[in-house]
Amino acid sequence: MSGISTLLLVIFVLFCVQAIGGVFQVKDYRKAIKRVHQLGNVGVGQKRGRLFSGNIVMIACNNEGVITGAEIMEGLTFLTKFKETNTFLEMELKGKMVPELMEVINRFDKKQRKKYKGYVRAIEALDMRLNQGITL
């Protein structure tokens, strides 16, 4: 085999591994959504990573706006899984009120909003649901 053929074969194998890994990641996402949804209404936020790792954050709250649980998937590869998370900005998440967290993120500057984008979007989604009276 020539050098170009070998390179193309390696690229194809890596592409297949990434595709298979993506299938497993979608299955893990679905399982995590079901787990978090059992805790109440779910807000999901995503921070895409370019060179650095990104994350997907799922936060659950009850109908009164009290956070009941959260999970995060953080990393660079398809090998990452969702894990329970209990803190945000060194604050305990469980038991906090969504409006209280909205006050915190509304004070963020542009750089902080970008850094915590997954959490921000998940909290904003919950706040929107609570303000519109939407429960799932």
| SS3 at position 61 | strand
Q: What is the pLDDT of residues 84-129, one digit of tens each?
A: 999 999 899 999 999 999 999 999 999 999 999 999 999 999 999 8
Query: Are 36 and 58 contacting, i.e. CB atoms less than 8 angstroms apart?
Result: yes
CA gap 125, 119 in Å, rounded: 10
Residue 72, judged by CB atoms within 10 A of its CB (0-12, 13-18, 19+), counts as buried
| 19 membership: H or E segment, kind and range | helix 3-37
Q: Nearest to residue 28, comparing CAs of 90, 92, 74?
A: 74
pTM above 0.75, yes or no: yes
- Say what percent of the chain tops pLDDT 70: 94
3-state helix, strand, coil in the chain (%, to 5): 50, 25, 30
Query: Are 113 and 120 contacting, i.e. CB atoms less than 8 angstroms apart?
Result: yes
Q: What is the pLDDT of residues 18-76, one digit of tens each?
A: 888 888 888 999 999 999 999 999 999 999 877 677 899 999 999 999 999 999 998 87
CA gap 136, 128 in Å, rounded: 13
